[in-house]
Amino acid sequence: MEVKFNGEKYALITPEKTYEDSFNNYIKELGSEERYPYPLDIPADDFQKYVETLHNYSQGKDLPAWLVPNTTYWLICNSEIVACSHLRHELNHQLKHAGGHIGLGVRPSFRGRGLSNLLLDLTIQQARAISIKEIHIHCFEDNLASKQMIQNAGGLLTSRIDNYQANLHLLRYVVS
Ligand SMILES: CC(C)(COP(=O)(O)OP(=O)(O)OC[C@H]1O[C@@H](n2cnc3c(N)ncnc32)[C@H](O)[C@@H]1OP(=O)(O)O)[C@@H](O)C(=O)NCCC(=O)NCCS
């Protein structure tokens, strides 16, 4: 899927082997920052295998016990991966409690340009395409950019878990 945003062309794709260098540079940029969403945290030394693994997960194949079927998306601009999202196709009890359908991160050097808004909208379109009617999206209360991004996408705050992790409160939104 291709879109124009602020005068640039962006494409939403699923992982491809040709982006190995761009992926490695994204990981380098993250440095010691937590790799979020989780596909950025899977070892990718064997990049071909990494790409195949993510495609298998998308088809519900070879899933570890802690995963439900989910698709990883990359947002591409000028042949660079600028952001990453993943969409869970379904939620188990635990993920409904905390986790939700969509996780998303923007490459550090591309932050502050509205790309999280764009990628969340595109990922929500993918959720609609597989008939998810109520999309659950969660974030920590102190993550102000994430909170704003979810609200921009039409997320309605449905509940809050106090002290979900230490002093971190989890906000739970639904996009209908
Ligand atoms: C959170 C994250 C995805 C935001 O990405 P980004 O591309 O820099 O965000 P955007 O530029 O699209 O900004 C999103 C909105 O947040 C707002 N925003 C940004 N920083 C803010 C702040 N400190 N306080 C309030 N609002 C803020 C922006 O103004 C924008 O709202 P607007 O479009 O209504 O003006 C990015 O910082 C990131 O990848 N963080 C690490 C991973 C993460 O936390 N993911 C979210 C987990 S739920």
* Per-residue model confidence as pLDDT tens digits over 91-148: 999 999 999 999 999 999 999 999 999 999 999 999 999 999 999 999 999 999 999 9
139 lines ligand 1 (CB under 6 A): yes
151 lines ligand 1 (CB under 6 A): no
Cis peptide upstream of residue 37 (ω within 30 degrees of 0): yes
How many angstroms separate the alpha carbon of residue 139 from the centre of ligand 1?
11
Residue 69 near residue 58, CB atoms below 8 Å? yes
How many angstroms separate the alpha carbon of residue 112 from the centre of ligand 1?
7
> Tens digit of pLDDT for each residue in 31-80?
999 999 999 999 999 999 999 999 999 999 999 999 999 999 999 999 99
Query: Cα(35)–Cα(53) distance, rounded to whole angstroms?
Result: 18
